[in-house]
Amino acid sequence: MAAFPEIDRVVYEGPDSKNPLAFRHYDEDQLVEGKTMKDHLRFSVVYWHTFRGSGADPFGPGCAVRPWELADGTVENACERARMAFEFIEKLGAPYYAFHDRDVAPEGDNLAETNKNLDRVVEVLKEQQARTGIKLLWGTANLFSNPRYVHGAATSCNADVYAFAAAQVKKALEVTKELGGAGYVFWGGREGYQNLLNTDMKRELDHLARFLHMAVDYAKQIGFEGQFYIEPKPKEPTKHQYDSDAAACINFLRTYGLENDLQLNLETNHATLAGHEMLHELDYAGSQGMLGSIDANTGDLLLGWDTDQFPTNVYLTAQCMWAVLKYGGFTSGGVNFDAKVRRESFEPVDLFHAHIGGMDAFAKGLKIAAAIRADGELDSMLQQRYASWDRDLGAEIESGQHDLPSLEKYMLSKGEVAANTSGRQELFENIWNRYIF
């Protein structure tokens, strides 16, 4: 059965199009910096929000109309849903998707049954991937919804829960490999704490690191060559998540010897919750050689929670793609829409509007970022700002030729510093705006 019989493949019609079901900027074959938009952006649709989101909120149950919720809970329904999901992704023209194990298949009465359910749906996913050419950007395990994970998974105080989570990740890695996944994500879920009085933080961090090492070891054992990622988020559901932001994650990975095995999957709304701009997170991770992938969404600056809205702001998307290009572009990662339509947007067609808007905003952002880079004006202004480091004293310090006494000697003879020059922030902003409008 078709879920969207009245909708055809979404195509590029150009900036003047008023067709709500066409792209105005995302022309997948257009070359930007010598690479197609499709290969730059590597758009991915998330299974959890798009095919399992119901619009439920703390004040009411879901109200979304979803053709694939036929007899929720059965494996047959899950298989049919998977076919409809691929109909959506194919019509949208996104090359990738991402899922949690529990999004795609229901849990059974015990782990063995649950694994069997997953295997049945994975067969359908595999068949649909082969039919459409759509690929898996990354897989992951849901280690937070089931009540057994009330105290967390890899940081639970209950060792049995840790073992269950380990078994779940083992299976999720196997199916991600089976489906040719380009990556595997760890988002902390409930890995964090509400109160330090009842929490042994050091012990929980050690356990989490052991858990990640076990996953990396098992991936090697089964020959899974996808990229591992950790996804920073500072709060929600716990007050303090251990993977709170890019810097905290990188410190954690280095402390425990995991820095060569995991990169970062950065999400815009998570950056907002951490009190950072997304550009900060991207630039920090990129500068440390750990920018892996993006969960593309946006928050609402007037609300303090993870609203997971679709990104429509070209300032944001241009900054994202500017950072991605600066650090060499995606290799295994992509632009994964970890975003959900509003509860009020409950009709199936809203899913198309949301993704088309996000894809167009990112395509336009990519073009803007490439134009800024091609002109090189901002770049040379930035270089100029640091010019004192390119010659004489600055160059000597950078190459390690100085110590405190030699710098004192230099300053004593000079007496006072060379005059500072303006940072020209407003000019930088104006030039950036020239490419936006």
- Residue numbers annotated as active site: 100, 103
Closest distance of CB 416 from ligand XUL, Å:
51
Q: Is 295 in the site for ligand XUL (CB under 6 A)?
A: yes
Q: Which two tokens stand for residue 63?
A: 């109200």
Among 80, 281, 338, 360, binds ligand XUL (CB under 6 A): 338
Q: Are 188 and 235 in contact (CB under 8 A)?
A: no
Distance (Å, whole) CA 236 – CA 254: 24
- Residues that contact ligand XUL, how many (by CB under 6 A): 10
Partner that binds at residue 306, options ligand XUL, Co ion, none, CB closer than 5 to 8 Å by kind? ligand XUL
Using CB under 5 A, list all residues that contact Co ion: 267, 295, 338
Among 50, 128, 140, 238, binds ligand XUL (CB under 6 A): 140
Closest distance of CB 265 from ligand XUL, Å:
7
Alpha-helical segments (H) within 28-158: 37-41, 47-52, 75-92, 101-104, 111-132
Q: Pick between residue 204 and residue 295 the one whose CB is nearest to Co ion.
A: 295
Using alpha carbons, select from 244, 249, 237 the residue that is nearest to residue 290: 249
Q: Is 245 in the site for ligand XUL (CB under 6 A)?
A: no
Q: CA neighbours within 13 Å on the CB side: how many for 328?
A: 10
Distance (Å, whole) CA 249 – CA 244: 7
Q: Is 187 in the site for ligand XUL (CB under 6 A)?
A: yes
Partner that binds at residue 233, options ligand XUL, Co ion, none, CB closer than 5 to 8 Å by kind? ligand XUL
Closest distance of CB 231 from Co ion, Å:
5
Q: Pick between residue 25 and residue 355 the one whose CB is nearest to Co ion.
A: 355
Q: Pick between residue 295 and residue 360 the one whose CB is nearest to ligand XUL.
A: 295
Q: Pick between residue 154 and residue 325 the one whose CB is nearest to ligand XUL.
A: 154
CA–centroid distance for 282 within its chain:
11
- The interface mask with ligand XUL, positions 93-112, x = CB under 6 A, is -------x------------
Query: What does the DSSP assignment read for 272-306?
Result: HHTT--HHHHHHHHHHTT-EEEEE--B--TTS-S-
Q: How many C-beta atoms lie closer than 10 Å to residue 116's C-beta? A: 13
Residue whose beta carbon is closest to ligand XUL: 187
Query: What does the DSSP assignment read for 191-257?
Result: -EES-GGG--HHHHHHHHHHHHHHHHHHHHHHT--SEEEEE--SSSSSSEETT-SHHHHHHHHHHTT
Closest distance of CB 62 from ligand XUL, Å:
17
Angle, helices 111-132/159-178, rounded to nearest 10 degrees:
20
Q: Is 243 in the site for ligand XUL (CB under 6 A)?
A: no
Binding residues for ligand XUL (CB under 6 A): 100, 140, 185, 187, 231, 233, 267, 295, 306, 338
